[in-house]
Structure 1
Amino acid sequence: MFRRTFWFTAGAAAGVWATTKVNRKLKQLTPESLAARTADKAIEAGHKLKDFALDVKAGMVERESELNDALGLNASNVRELPAQRRLAAIDQPHQQNPKISYKKISYNRNEDH
């Protein structure tokens, strides 16, 4: 009789345990629970992406500083580019050498040759 009671109790405990497990899984699979978990995961992914972007930006600033030091381009040393100069021969070709006649050459690549 003691055996039957033991196995009956063991079976009842296993049934309760299995029922509890199934009910927990079913609650996890409800649409509200799935939506909440998805939202939490999306927020977590957003935070990780933001941290990654900040790390990349910090690395870029550090590398730019290293390159500026290596090239000697410090902020106190920055100079402006000189004004563009035009050659006198391009501006006024007929005044440079009056004996040369300049013929207009077309450089259209679509013309028949």
Structure 2
Amino acid sequence: MFRRTFWFTAGAAAGVWATTKVNRKLKQLTPESLAAQAADKAVEAGHRLKDFALDVKAGMAQREAELGEALGLDARNDPAALEPRRLAALDHPKHSYNRNEDH
């Protein structure tokens, strides 16, 4: 009798556990849950891209400072040093690429 009770209880517990697992998985696969998961992943990816962009910007500023120091330029304290670059950029004609011109 004790063996039957033990196996009945073990079977019932396994059934409850399996039912709980299946119900949790089904809830994860509902359209609302999938949309929420996708939104969370998109936000996480956006944060990663923002962090990457900030790292790139910091690296660029550091490298620009290193190059300025190596070349003896101190553009931060001398706004006139940037003026020739601005004028050259304004004088340079902008050409739009038209792929039909090649044919």
- Structure 2 length normalisation: TM-score? 0.73
CA displacement at 1:78 relative to structure 2? 3.4
Q: What is aligned with 2:7?
A: 7
Larger Rg: 1
Q: Matches of 1:45 and 1:23 in 2, distance apart?
A: 29
CA displacement at 1:73 relative to structure 2? 1.3
Structure 1 residues 20-99: aligned runs within 5 Å: 20-75=20-75, 76=78, 78=81
Alignment root-mean-square deviation, CA: 1.8
Between Structure 1 and Structure 2, which shows a larger proportion of helix residues? 2
Unaligned runs of 5+ in 2: 85-103
Unaligned runs of 5+ in 1: 82-113
Residues 80, 61 of structure 1: alpha-carbon distance in 2 compared, 3 angstrom cutoff: closer
Q: What is aligned with 1:109?
A: none
Q: Matches of 1:28 and 1:5 in 2, distance apart?
A: 35
Runs of 4+ in 1 over 6 A off after TM superposition: none
